[in-house]
Structure 1
């Protein structure tokens, strides 16, 4: 008999491969399926996230449950959002077997995280996930907007995406993800993850991104209007703002908005903060 008072028993390489074999699962690039097979790595992710017993954690793309089990060691509740029906179906069984004492604090939701419009149970306070790399930024921004109760989190993404999300104005990799993430949160790089902790090993490096919620800028413009300015500014990132913002308003209106915002019309989007974009949006005529 298993000791139901013990903490979760984490998955190792043999466990991950055995679970995949049960499902006749061949990881697909289409869904960004690379499963973590190293217990030390998932414990590190949970430790860096700062999650504790009072937290309700949302996990996206739990896969076979490696990170889920590590989260259940410390979190009060874990809600896992999984788009793959086979994986979602097996997960409760894996949790019951490896973490029987914590199984009542776990719930799996079969859904696409990009399209989900609610999370069951108490409002979640943290997001911790190994995000599918092909949709990591849209998923993150969607959940930021959907779940204002989220206070902090840590996500693993492709290394270059981690750099973009955490970039500051003036950086070569500063762009749309950097500004939109900054609307919701203070974002920082939190380390790198080697390729050998995954099965199968990905052909890209991975990075950790940590964030804490911040109040969005106080503004008379809507978030959609500000984000439209951001999208336009980076659509042709080598061009001056005065030219690229003409896709949103006539030249005279763009000039007036830039002047009111105190922004050089020859500046480029990569030099602006999220608050600069807010001031421009406030000055544009929106129909």
Structure 2
């Protein structure tokens, strides 16, 4: 299958033809540069025949790059105009044939097939945060230029809901990339760092210049590689661990003894749980890894129903 990637002139022409104007509300910044697209695909280790989920495909730059690498793509797009335009663009630049498909949880679905009838692209028109099922085979990788305004919630949601995802390569704001990949004790370590670490090992792999986007953003971007790992061994529910993480960082300058007082019931109860978990009650959240938060949550939730700590969070 021959695939032609999009260039700057083609992207602007597509947008004009469809009456699309990138909006900050949807976090839309379209990638103009084919070299950047291929770098993303390469760093994601995309393999021929692999099922890849892409969130926010926009005008299709990265979608075509994934198809060029031989991946089968399921794209989730919230904008109905872009969701209708994407199959047309891919049909023109990759020689695929669009066909209707059954909706998934009321979300419209379009499938594109190659000459042999193989499903190469599936477009789901839906808010990514509302997606609980995806059509077809389970994806094993997430590769996306994530909408900047919801990048962390989308990433954490997909890691939670789709356990089949074994790795990912996402483009986000450089500041967000630093937070996702930050280790305990660093200046940028916080809620996104600890929650991402529950699911995967994350590392920043490359910086992406502003000039490869349209419109040009006011911030730098970066690529983050994620590799799925087993969550910490704990009897505490994930919701309870995340509630402890949220409470620990609600007021960053507070010692954990004070920061967790609300969720524990008192400062004394928080101190006892921290000591039992082997965490210094006078430490701050920035110094505790996700395993430490899991041990604390295990102590705090020992006499409660799973998920009960969440209702006491900040």
- Structure 1: which 5+ residue stretches go unaligned? none
Q: Do the aligned partners of 2:46 and 2:71 also contact (CA within 8 Å) in 1? A: no
Q: Deviations over 1:85-133 (max 9, x none)?
A: 0000011111111001594200100000011111111010000000010
- Structure 2: which 5+ residue stretches go unaligned? 98-111, 114-119, 309-314
Which moved further from structure 2: 155-164 or 51-60?
A: 51-60
Alignment-derived partner of residue 71 in structure 1: 66
Alignment-derived partner of residue 80 in structure 1: 75
How many residues get paired?
A: 282
The 3-state SS of whatever aligns with 1:270 is helix
- Counterpart-to-counterpart distance in 1, 2:271 and 2:214: 53
Alignment-derived partner of residue 52 in structure 2: 57
Q: Deviations over 1:125-155 (max 9, x none)?
A: 0000000101000000000001000000100
2:223 to 187, 208, 231: 208
Alignment-derived partner of residue 131 in structure 1: 146
TM-score (norm 2): 0.88
The 3-state SS of whatever aligns with 2:226 is strand
Alignment-derived partner of residue 283 in structure 2: 267
Alignment-derived partner of residue 252 in structure 2: 237
Alignment-derived partner of residue 182 in structure 2: 167
- Counterpart-to-counterpart distance in 1, 2:85 and 2:284: 49
Alignment-derived partner of residue 189 in structure 1: 204
Give the 4+ runs in structure 1 shifted more than 3 A. Answer: none
- Counterpart-to-counterpart distance in 1, 2:184 and 2:261: 22
Alignment-derived partner of residue 6 in structure 2: 11
TM-score (norm 1): 0.96
- Counterpart-to-counterpart distance in 1, 2:248 and 2:178: 19
Q: Do the aligned partners of 2:90 and 2:96 also contact (CA within 8 Å) in 1? A: no
- Counterpart-to-counterpart distance in 2, 1:72 and 1:47: 12
Q: Do the aligned partners of 2:51 and 2:139 also contact (CA within 8 Å) in 1? A: yes
